Each structure stands twice: as structure tokens, then as C-alpha cells.
Amino acid sequence: MPAPCHGPDEGATGFGSRLACTGLRLSVRGTRVAAVGDVDDDLDPALVARVAAICLALPETHEQDAWIGVRWRIRQRTFAHLAHVDPRGGSVFGLAARLGSPADVITFRSSGAELDALVHSGLPFYKPDWSPHVIGMVLDDDTDWDEVAELLADSYCLMAPKKLARLLQPPA
């Protein structure tokens, strides 16, 4: 008989058996849980503030610490996730960027022709495997912040209730 997927430390993370079944090692720091092997402690507060200024300007958005990095949500749906990752650490989030060194990355939602264009454009964009509509972007000194703001607004519109998404769209 296989061992159960949960154990005595299940309550310590608050995530229940879902994470216990993955075999992912966790490190608990205060109220923050991070995947061991990623380097989210190196996330620059100025970068977080810059992305937060874009995201929190959108209706009913809130910021939340995530299992790695920081995410922005509309109600209970994540539309942007910022992290500093080390692909050598072995976590799914770090490996998805397929980089050779630590980097700041943001993932967001996209669809249709824009998703296809981003997937095929190469770096700074990359396609994580965990969702057909998630796209990632490496943030560096060459980042076009107007483009980031536009992509995050589009991601917000995909995840927000239609009533809120319409607030960002010009009248027809």
C-alpha cells in the first residue's frame, strides 16, 4: 500500500496534501513559504515597487506574497507573478525560463495572436509548460516598461470579471 500524501507537517505550510504529493521541499520563513532552490530573497524591492505601481493601478487589484516572489490578483485570480529565480535550483518556476543564470522574471496571461507572437519571439519572452495561456518575460536593463504595462493590463483583462475588464477598454 503506498504511503499517504499528507503527513504531520501538512498544517505547517497551510497548503495541505496537494504540495506534499509533489515532493517539493519547502522552506517556511515567517508567513512566507518558498520553494527551496529558488532565490526569491534577491528580488529587488525597487523592481517589486515598479511592477506594483502598474498592477495596483488596475481596479480591485491586490498584491500577495506567493510561494516564490510576489503576485498580483484580481479577486482570487493571478494575472501577474514576479520572482527572482535561479534555474540551477531545480524548481519548476526557475527551470521554465530556461536561463543559465539567476534572473528576475514575470509571468502573466495572454491569448490569441498576441500569445502566439510572444511565444515565437524568443527572449525576453518564454513559454512555461504549466498553462497554455501563461507567458513569461525576463526583466533586465533593456526592459520596455511601457510594453510591460500593456501586457499586464491585457493579462488583467483576461482574468478580471467582464465588468471590471470593460473599465480598461476604450468605448466602441
Task: Using 70 as the pLDDT threshold, list the residues of the chain that sit under it.
Answer: 1-41, 90-95, 97, 170-172
Start-to-end CA span in the chain (Å): 61
Q: What is the DSSP letter of 171?
A: P
Residue 111 is predicted with a pLDDT of 92
Residue 64 is predicted with a pLDDT of 93
Residue 36 is predicted with a pLDDT of 40
Residue 86 is predicted with a pLDDT of 79
Question: Is the separation of the CB atoms in 98 and 122 below 8 Å?
Answer: no
Q: Give the model confidence (pLDDT) of 27-71 as tens digits.
A: 333 333 334 444 445 788 999 999 999 999 999 999 998 888 899
Residue 106 is predicted with a pLDDT of 94
Helix, strand, coil in percent for the chain, rounding step 5: 35, 25, 40
Residue 96 is predicted with a pLDDT of 72
Closest CA to 61 of 170, 171, 168: 168
Q: Break the chain into its structural domains and give their ranges.
A: 1-30, 40-167
Fold (topology level) of 40-167: Aspartate Aminotransferase, domain 1 (3.90.1150)
Q: Which amino acid, 142?
A: D
Three-state SS sequence of 5-68: CCCCCHHHHCCCHHHHCCCCCEEEECCEEEEECECHHHCCHHHHHHHHHHHCCCCCEEEEECCC
